[in-house]
Structure 1
Amino acid sequence: MVEIVLDKNLTTDKKGERKDVDQETVDLSLSSKLDKKLQEAIELHQKNQLIRAKKVCGQILSINSQHTSTIHLLGLIAFQENQPQKAAKLVQHAIKLDDTRPAFYRSLGSILQHLGQLQESINAYQCVLSIAPNDHKTWNDIGHLFRLLGKIDQAYTYFQNSIAILPNYSAFYNLGLLLQERGQLEESVAHYKESIAINPNLFQAYSNLGNVFQEIGQYNEAYSYYQKAIQINPKYFEVEMNLGILCMKMETPDEATKHFQRVLQLNPKHPEAYNNLGLTFQQQGEVEKAKFCFRRALEINAAFSDAYTNLGNILLKEDEGINKAITLYNRAINVDPNNYEAFYNLSYAQHYQGSFEQALQSCRHALLIDPNQAKAHINYSMTLLTMGRFSEGWKEGEWRWKDVAFESEHKRNFPQPLWDGSSLTGKTILIWLEQGVGDQIMFASLLPKLQQQARQVIVETGKRLIPIFQRSYPDIDIVPAQNPPDSLLLGNSIDFQSPIASLPQWCLPDEVSFPRYQIYLEDCSQKTTMLRRKYQKLAGGKILIGISWKSTHNSAGKLKSTSLTNWESLLSQTGCFFVNLQYGDVKQELEEFTQQTGIEIYCDEEINSLESLDDFASQIAALDLIISTSNTTVHVAGALGKPVWTLLNYVPSWRWMIDRSDSLWYPSMVLFRQGCIGDWSSVFQSVHHCLKNFLQSLSKFNEDCPSGN
């Protein structure tokens, strides 16, 4: 605030010469008159009656053109009339006439700060201190300016000096803010609390305390301080915003919604509030409301990059929404070329559109903005692997361990060094399994390669895979995973350790290096024989075909999945006995399908794939053909060497690559791909045609080998 003072030095001339008594009496009378006029002008200024105030100032200057306090006041009026350049010249003129007045320098400092001339403002405030070195407010103001200039050490010193002269809430607050920006959060909290102790109504300090505690994850403390700030100033919409963001983190979207709506009551044209409200609606599954909010944010601010990105994220999940999403991501980037999220999501969308080179380019842009974003490296890896650029792709895939969510879910803490591809001759290596069962089975095809190199291979895995792995790899020590790990796995007798999905970077540098084992998992022959006889008896000589039609994968499951209605024509094929291989409880779905179509799919209630993967493997091995979407079923079938037809969405998982009908991982597999996004009809037409040919060839084979397995 610019300080206004009354001039008290009117009884001596500029040179300070003594006047005679009669002249002094006249001057005193004139001085008293000018004092009253100046006081009148000040009061008018304080009432915001600026025109009248200027008129009175003109009357004073007509009597004394060098009346410094009046010139100073005219400078303040000019500043209030949004004429900062004129204001600065007037105050500088007052200082030229009288350079002993701290208030003049303070006013000049404030005006220059408004003009963005921060160093010049500091110089003006320094002049205040040369006259009044114990002016704690000026020490604080200079500290604030140094902070704005990024001169943190100088700012810190000036705030400390202000407090040393007189402990004051403003300097404590500013010091807390500076320490918060430096990441010294504990010290920051202490200084904010000092400011509140002096001024309990300093709502900004409560708000910043809330910000600090939110940053360090102490959400309840943050919530409490935000509430105190609002109690003091119920119209402080910035705190309502922060409370809404906090409630989103606390997973209380209903309360977050209320806070963002309160912001919009206080400020109806707040685009960030609409954007955040859209995010809460999206979190609650209120997609249409979310879209409305993002669009409203963009109506208010057409240059709101994040709102374009968020609207794109919603449209990306809608049928035929991928092109619209890409358009929005590009708009976000046009507005803000440094929008990492927009480039990241654009890369994701372009990948699933099949524009792989563009996806790589967008991902590279994202990584130029933030090279340490693990998710972008992972996306980059997936696209490279899809394109068959294995060496680059495996390397980028190692960034998954820098993704906090992935690392916390999958990381196993073993003391041995990670295998770096060096010689395993005479060495023992521990392999631990990560990700889903399908991935574990697929990467298990690399275990024989390790056996050829190492003295001993140890594999730690989940209990569902232990029976089939022990049978398939009798020379490998298969150990059940537990927490903490088996103590035998922590000793120095083991030379290296590696997650199984990290093996390809050393074992599969190119397409030629894939092992191409026809069979590498071994089912329980006794169980398989029993199940085959059972199914053959039920089928009455028909071909045994296992089917699975959907995936429960969190992100890609919808794209990968079909509906049983898509299968109706195929399941009507004569000469086939269809067996359900879909994991999970699908009893009601099967019953409804049978009621609608009259087609029965046999469901073996003795087999529970979620409980016994070994039984599930025998069930698959007992069949003649497996037809399934991309899920665990096809991995088991492929590893057993069974004929398996895998139905793929337009851009499937990286492992199935592009533009090929075979699989590098499973020689017995045939891939059927969508021709465009969402087009399952052409896939089933191709499958139906191939099934007719398969039935003819298999029928002849079964005539020659009727008890074949």
Structure 2
Amino acid sequence: MSRSDRNKGAMSAKPGPTAAAPLSASLYEAGLQHLGGGRMLDAQMSCEQALAADPNHADSLALMGIIALQTGQHDHAVAWFSRAIRQSPKIDYLTSLGFTLKQMGRLDDALAVFDKAIQLKPDDAELWKHMGGVLLAQNRSAEALLSYQHALSINPVHREAAFQSGLLLHGEQRYQEAVQAFTVCLTQQPDDLQSLQMRARCARQMKRYDDYLADCQRAQTLAPTDPLVCNNLGDALVCLGRSAEALAWFDKALALRPGLVDVLHNKGFALLQLLRFEEAAAIYREILAIEPDNAKAEWQLAHVELQCGDYEAGWAHREARWKMPDFSPDYPRFAQPKWLGKEEIAGQTILIEEDEGFGDNIQFARYLPMVAARGGKVILVVREPLQRLMAGIDGVSQCLAFTPDLQRPAFDMHCPIMSLPLAFGTTLATIPPADYLPPPPADRVAVWEQRLGWHDRLRVGLVWSGNPHQANDGNRSMPLSTLLPLLDVEADFISLQKELRPADKALLAQQSGIRDVTADLSDFAETAALMSCLDVVVTVCTSAAHLAATLGRPTWIMLPYAADWRWLRDRDDSPWYPSARLFRQDAGCRFEPVVARVRGELAAKAAAFTPTP
């Protein structure tokens, strides 16, 4: 307990006037004066004289408790406060006793004391705040939050209750409510740096990046030499797509505290957004020189290397993901050894299990027949939407749908599907062909052909957004409204977009030029059957792009300026997918020019289309 906390807790129980004998009362008042002046020994002597005259003088007993608390004699403080309460159960005495017990770690006893105090005075916001503090110390966060919120219902401007509520709401990811709580603090104390920074964090989580920047700028005026404040300001600019401006703030932070790893990470990321790959790689190597076991830096370096075509280094460094505690929590940590291509697997059963996204699984399933060709019996585990599609891949003996309680058959070794390129030593020159998926069932293709009707115009599949929880989704996805200029092309447009966002759902319902059949796309196998009936798929970087390109359909992929590593650098084609064309953003980082280029190409393709009977 800090001295300020100790003083605060003690003085919250400052005894008031009593009906004690005049001598005890005057000696008690003298003790108060001495205590206020910092003359602790004189205060104690005055109290002892008062209690000699009247052993039951409650205020003097409580003042002795305060003196004991301020001198760190907690057991004595408990005894003095308890004696005072027996004479007169005042709220202030109970508060100081509860505070002392909390500092001693006697949390159950402290809770009982504050509960008694609240029964005596239920409309006291300070008591509810104290109750919240004890509950929080007991790791009873939900109950603590209720206690703090009750304090605020009594006193809506109680700063401490608001701040603690904000922290707990932030921890529960209830960011909007947390913002309101921190705003209560800032309304009273506009220069409260801690509340300002916490409100900024909440704004970032809610992707309210303008608010995030505004709070970071205000924080920087309050603490101009704090490197973490400069770092946050740079991060806010990156979130707003202003990475070039952000670099100056990261450099300022590093000038204030050289070698600060969190700042270096953010600087490396900003450089990647600007496609300054060599400089970004140098930053990640600098981090690894400071912290050789920094898995995040190694992981990011891997992606730079892969994007630049250095597959040998990139695949190896990418294994650092397994040292990241929050990576792929569903992938079991098996007792069996991991296979990375070095051991012979002939006659062995090898479990191949997904460890990242749907698109990753589709892209790297091309290695499964190669595992089987080495003599391994392949058991594949993927999420249910992929099971039917992948069960028919050549060499897969058994394909299971992942569930948290899945009982896997016996196996000898395992390999995450994203580690297969490393296991086979893949280089740009040895990428396996994209012809590994079995053709969709003819009967399902026939059903979709019949449903789509006469093939008298170009059929175009559309996908404009991916999983909103993916880290780069804000850059790789677009709203449907951005794609609408395509609709004046003479073509039939079919939506392949699953998981519509609210604004897109409303807009799609108004579009007669787009057929939405996604309710019947039960899994990837069904989507593959539909895609087989289309002439071109126009999509952002998501699983639909991988599926369409793997099926050999003409696939036009619209990419952000800082595209994913798998699409390499400065290319409009892909060695992974011969049927793919890449339409990249320019440095303006807007999809509107990309859509305009796609529209021009689509119009030409539609004009050259020959109807099919």
CA distance in 2, matches of 1:48, 1:191: 28
Question: Deviation string for 1:34-93 (max 9, x for gaps)?
Answer: xxxxxxxxxxxx8999xxxxxxxxxxxxxxxxxxxxxxxxxx9xxxxxxxxxxxxxxxxx
CA distance in 2, matches of 1:476, 1:214: 53
Q: Tell me whether 1:305 sits opposite 2:227 in the alignment.
A: yes
Q: Tell me whether 1:292 sits opposite 2:214 in the alignment.
A: yes
Instruction: Give the residue type in structure 1 aligned to 2:308.
Output: M
**Counterpart pick for 2:413 among 489, 496, 499:** 496
Match of residue 19 from structure 1: none
Residue 614 of structure 1 and its aligned partner are, at CA, apart by: 1.6
Question: Deviation string for 1:190-213 (max 9, x for gaps)?
Answer: 66779989x99xxxxxx9999999
CA distance in 2, matches of 1:579, 1:304: 53
Instruction: Give the residue type in structure 1 aligned to 2:298.
Output: H
Say whether the 8 Å CA contact 1:271–1:298 is kept in structure 2: no
Q: 5 Å matches for 1:92-107?
A: none
User: Unmatched 5+ residue regions in structure 1?
Assistant: 2-45, 50-75, 77-102, 104-143, 145-158, 170-187, 201-206, 595-599
**Counterpart pick for 1:650 among 557, 561, 569:** 561
Q: Tell me whether 1:551 sits opposite 2:466 in the alignment.
A: yes
Identity over aligned pairs, percent: 23
Match of residue 544 from structure 2: 633
Match of residue 314 from structure 2: 393
Q: 5 Å matches for 1:461-540?
A: 461-473=382-394, 475-486=396-407, 489-491=408-410, 494-518=411-435, 520-535=437-452, 537-540=453-456
Q: 5 Å matches for 1:59-458?
A: 218-219=140-141, 244-253=166-175, 256-257=178-179, 260=182, 269-283=191-205, 287-318=209-240, 320-368=241-289, 370-408=291-329, 410-421=330-341, 422-458=343-379
Residue 316 of structure 1 and its aligned partner are, at CA, apart by: 2.3
Instruction: Give the residue type in structure 2 aligned to 1:664.
Output: P
Instruction: Give the residue type in structure 1 aligned to 2:474.
Output: K
CA distance in 2, matches of 1:189, 1:627: 63
Match of residue 19 from structure 2: none
Q: Tell me whether 1:590 sits opposite 2:508 in the alignment.
A: yes
Change over 3 Å in CA distance of 1:251–1:681 after alignment to 2? closer
Match of residue 72 from structure 1: none
Change over 3 Å in CA distance of 1:243–1:656 after alignment to 2? same
Instruction: Give the residue type in structure 2 aligned to 1:314.
Output: A
CA distance in 1, matches of 2:348, 2:250: 50
Match of residue 141 from structure 1: none
Match of residue 583 from structure 2: 672
Instruction: Give the residue type in structure 2 aligned to 1:672.
Output: F
- What is the TM-score with the length of structure 1 in the denominator? 0.62
Say whether the 8 Å CA contact 2:379–2:396 is kept in structure 1: no
Change over 3 Å in CA distance of 1:425–1:224 after alignment to 2? same
Q: Tell me whether 1:662 sits opposite 2:560 in the alignment.
A: no
CA distance in 1, matches of 2:418, 2:327: 13
Instruction: Give the residue type in structure 2 aligned to 1:589.
Output: L
Say whether the 8 Å CA contact 2:486–2:599 is kept in structure 1: yes
Residue 416 of structure 1 and its aligned partner are, at CA, apart by: 2.3
Choose 271-280 or 662-671, whichever is displaced more.
Answer: 271-280
RMSD: 4.8
Say whether the 8 Å CA contact 2:366–2:436 is kept in structure 1: no
CA distance in 1, matches of 2:210, 2:557: 35
Residue 515 of structure 1 and its aligned partner are, at CA, apart by: 0.4
Residue 341 of structure 1 and its aligned partner are, at CA, apart by: 2.6
Match of residue 533 from structure 2: 622
Match of residue 55 from structure 1: none
Change over 3 Å in CA distance of 1:485–1:620 after alignment to 2? same
CA distance in 2, matches of 1:218, 1:490: 41
Say whether the 8 Å CA contact 2:368–2:393 is kept in structure 1: no
Question: Deviation string for 1:241-288 (max 9, x for gaps)?
Answer: 666434422445466456645655776544233222332344456655
- State the structure with more CA Rg: 1
Q: 5 Å matches for 1:568-607?
A: 568-574=484-490, 576-585=491-500, 588-594=506-512, 600-601=513-514, 603=515, 605=517, 607=518
What is the aligned residue count? 524
CA distance in 1, matches of 2:508, 2:192: 51
Say whether the 8 Å CA contact 2:268–2:283 is kept in structure 1: yes
Instruction: Give the residue type in structure 1 aligned to 2:339.
Output: W
Question: Deviation string for 1:264-322 (max 9, x for gaps)?
Answer: 5776544233222332344456655443332222212211222223233333232x523
CA distance in 2, matches of 1:473, 1:454: 13
Say whether the 8 Å CA contact 2:216–2:236 is kept in structure 1: no
Question: Deviation string for 1:211-255 (max 9, x for gaps)?
Answer: 99969965358769999999xxxx998897666434422445466
Residue 450 of structure 1 and its aligned partner are, at CA, apart by: 0.7
CA distance in 2, matches of 1:531, 1:227: 56
CA distance in 1, matches of 2:535, 2:393: 21
Match of residue 12 from structure 2: none
Say whether the 8 Å CA contact 1:414–1:490 is kept in structure 2: no
Instruction: Give the residue type in structure 1 aligned to 2:376.
Output: R
Question: Deviation string for 1:581-629 (max 9, x for gaps)?
Answer: 22235664234344xxxxx22x253x53652322210100112222222
Question: Deviation string for 1:487-526 (max 9, x for gaps)?
Answer: xx253xx110122112222124421221023453421122
Q: 5 Å matches for 1:35-46?
A: none
Instruction: Give the residue type in structure 1 aligned to 2:197.
Output: N
CA distance in 2, matches of 1:298, 1:509: 47
Residue 442 of structure 1 and its aligned partner are, at CA, apart by: 0.9
Change over 3 Å in CA distance of 1:448–1:268 after alignment to 2? same
Question: Deviation string for 1:433-466 (max 9, x for gaps)?
Answer: 2322211111111111111113311101222222
Change over 3 Å in CA distance of 1:291–1:212 after alignment to 2? farther
Instruction: Give the residue type in structure 1 aligned to 2:446.
Output: T
Q: What SS does the aligned partner of 1:377 have?
A: helix
Change over 3 Å in CA distance of 1:274–1:692 after alignment to 2? closer
Say whether the 8 Å CA contact 2:268–2:281 is kept in structure 1: yes
Say whether the 8 Å CA contact 1:417–1:497 is kept in structure 2: yes
User: Unmatched 5+ residue regions in structure 2?
Assistant: 4-33, 42-70, 79-101, 115-128
Say whether the 8 Å CA contact 1:189–1:209 is kept in structure 2: no
Say whether the 8 Å CA contact 2:288–2:297 is kept in structure 1: yes
Residue 671 of structure 1 and its aligned partner are, at CA, apart by: 1.3
Question: Deviation string for 1:468-489 (max 9, x for gaps)?
Answer: 2223336531122223122xx2
